[in-house]
Structure 1
């Protein structure tokens, strides 16, 4: 499957062009790509236009490495862009009415009622907009409800949308352009907060800034171990023939992560496109919000069973693991050892950058970035994934208390300064820590219930 003529990709903003255009450095995980003499002229103004097979091969390589992303507005629509919207719903007639209003009357819609307690209002809302209504007698969860609708789809594409979403007009047409890449199985927009009376609470304002469903402002190839390692199907466009049996109906949580990872394992691509969005009604009440965050964590063990090579609370290179352990030990030798590890890594990276301009400067910069990333992951382990162990450690160790206090304050301060928020720093910090406590509790509950620590174990990534 090759990219079609006219396909356009642009380098990611963090991809560096080195040595007068001969070398590219970037992607996730970080890699160095040396362009052949034939490939160099194909990259102009950080953009590749596919005009022949060579251009298609280069663009595909850049996409696969995460060095570049499609210029979605420049891509054509698929030859047959027809799609059907599938909406799973349970007892949300008001939200369903709001969603169907945003979709409009000219789009085929299948509303799957997942055994609502009061079915009549849901059916009436679907009827007002001419949607096909599919009632289920037994509650099967979001995965089963989506599959029930998927089995009735007769168009090449399907759009899964949750009932508590509002869908802007340009979101689906824009996402459909990604399917001019024949390897794309799913494309998802940015999930933003819907303005409602409930979103004005302090938790609602925190969610506007740091929702679990909001994957950020940068386009990405969804892939485990990268900054965008999964994608939500609160709103997602999918190629019907790439979904096989659809969602895993045994999963009540994490079914969206599972279907993304299965597509990736099969050689397909999943694209995250933040230039368009879907507005989601986030939970604004503390109790509901906390329980939902904990529920997200309970999906960790089932996903670890299905995708052991993908699930890990942290992914570290051997050198960065040693660097972090030295600092966390807080001994007299900690800084000298950490410095020696860093210096050794700079020398090793220099050898890999042989032939590039300023290899020492570049290697130092890359090593520093890797060290900061390792510290950020360690902070998340202490305050989120491993917090029960952290609490136990803090009761007996002054060093554990210092490390935890630094981690708990530093990540909140850096996030708040970088992202800003619609809530004051104190309440942002409280919400951030409650977020971590809830999710971590869910992860531990799933691990204990499944009698496995797979979802709690970090993974060492061997150097490429």
Structure 2
């Protein structure tokens, strides 16, 4: 059971800065940004406090505004790193990885910031019991109970306020903990997570260049609040800094996959904040053989059904308003009369949004509304393409087998999605390798997703939902 967060506000001196992608309008009194995208009008007092793009908390009003900006994703903490983070226990779950464990422990000892910290290794039933160097506490499960249980065992013996979880196939980069530790100055932050990057010098396979730019554990280059149906919906448990008192019973030991997603979602549902900090980085040794990589991707997909049983629509692969879905259906398959109807629906949506955005006595912001609708349509188009090629590819394949026109459409979507995904990384990987690896990634994940849903006899992980209000 997750406890409720404390009622304390952000402390004085806590600073936040607007996300560089947040746009200021109307002389700085309106903010556009966040995830999901939102338009926020500042009250006069709030606009005065946020006279620049950086706000330092000095009173309850500033704390309340900073908290609202953080929760909306319009701003992020802007705090100096802690050069000597204290009050942290490092917990490492491991099973049958002696070389990787030795490499991780050596990295912790070599970093002046983590060398003094207590380290607990939880041996989850390794064939050869773990023998750790002096100063490292080892706890052993007689048989394998899974990573969630191993982390909970370490969590139970920690006596410090904070616990850093590190998987044995990780190597934290210098300064990682000092960049995460300041986030916990916010009394409502339960978890802060770093960016997971590829491990230099690790064995490489055919998919390694793709993993380097589109890793399943890499949440991207931008800091963010973490919550379902947002730009960063979860954090991988490969590396996490957690507030011990916030986790309650800890990870759900019945889950052998997606236990990290489940924990984050239970925390946010209880009112805690979870932060992603990409300036902090932990390297991870990704699977090198292509077959192993594909099995791992399919394994991740099976977790969606488990999440659906616990969190319902939060795990939906497609979040879309009915009018947006109708617009795309008319534009793509509406024929001679449907496409004009789709354009008319777009115009109606734009006019309705413009009326909602209008201020008394001011012109209706038609251009702003049109831009927002265009952005939403483009984002929903990408989501639909991902649905066709990833989450619902078995349905798309069945339709394509029955119709030549559908085959051409599915092929066009698959190629277009691959090109859109490759373009931001065009200097690091070729389009063919990226495109083939992306399709293999999607086929494996989608197969695991459907297998998990069939095994659970629960289709909720496959169903689209409306966006939350």
TM-score, with structure 2 as normaliser: 0.94
Partner of 1:107: 117
SS of the equivalent of 1:448 reads: helix
In the TM superposition, residue 329 of structure 1 has moved relative to its aligned partner by 1.8
In the TM superposition, residue 3 of structure 1 has moved relative to its aligned partner by 0.6
SS of the equivalent of 2:16 reads: strand
In the TM superposition, residue 16 of structure 1 has moved relative to its aligned partner by 1.6
Partner of 2:17: 10
In the TM superposition, residue 330 of structure 1 has moved relative to its aligned partner by 5.0
4+ runs of 1 displaced by more than 4 Å?
Answer: none
In the TM superposition, residue 44 of structure 1 has moved relative to its aligned partner by 2.9
Contact preservation (8 Å) 2:91, 2:164: yes
- Unaligned segments of structure 2, at least 5 residues: 1-7, 110-114
Distance in 1, matches of 2:364 and 2:126, equals: 64
Distance in 1, matches of 2:372 and 2:83, equals: 39
Partner of 1:44: 51
Deviations 1:101-128 (A, max 9, x none): 1111422100001101122xx31xx1x2
Instruction: Select 2:182's aligned residue among 177, 180, 190.
Output: 177
Distance in 2, matches of 1:179 and 1:165, equals: 22
Partner of 1:237: 241
In the TM superposition, residue 224 of structure 1 has moved relative to its aligned partner by 0.7
Distance in 1, matches of 2:315 and 2:380, equals: 17
Distance in 2, matches of 1:317 and 1:424, equals: 35
Deviations 1:11-45 (A, max 9, x none): 12222211111211222222222111111111133
In the TM superposition, residue 264 of structure 1 has moved relative to its aligned partner by 0.3
Partner of 1:379: 385
| Cα root mean square deviation, aligned | 1.7
- Judging changes above 3 Å, is the alpha-carbon distance between structure 1 residues 423 and 77 closer, same or farther for their aligned structure 2 residues? closer
Partner of 1:246: 250
Distance in 1, matches of 2:368 and 2:108, equals: 49
- Judging changes above 3 Å, is the alpha-carbon distance between structure 1 residues 334 and 403 closer, same or farther for their aligned structure 2 residues? farther
Contact preservation (8 Å) 1:171, 1:189: yes
Partner of 1:63: 70
Partner of 1:304: 308
Deviations 1:29-84 (A, max 9, x none): 2222211111111113311111111111111111111111111327x799x94100
In the TM superposition, residue 259 of structure 1 has moved relative to its aligned partner by 0.4
Deviations 1:366-388 (A, max 9, x none): 00110011101100110100111
- Unaligned segments of structure 1, at least 5 residues: none
Distance in 2, matches of 1:92 and 1:58, equals: 47
TM-score, with structure 1 as normaliser: 0.95
Distance in 1, matches of 2:412 and 2:19, equals: 32
Partner of 1:29: 36
Of 161-170 and 45-54, deviating more is 45-54
1:90 is the counterpart of 2:95: yes
Contact preservation (8 Å) 2:389, 2:442: yes
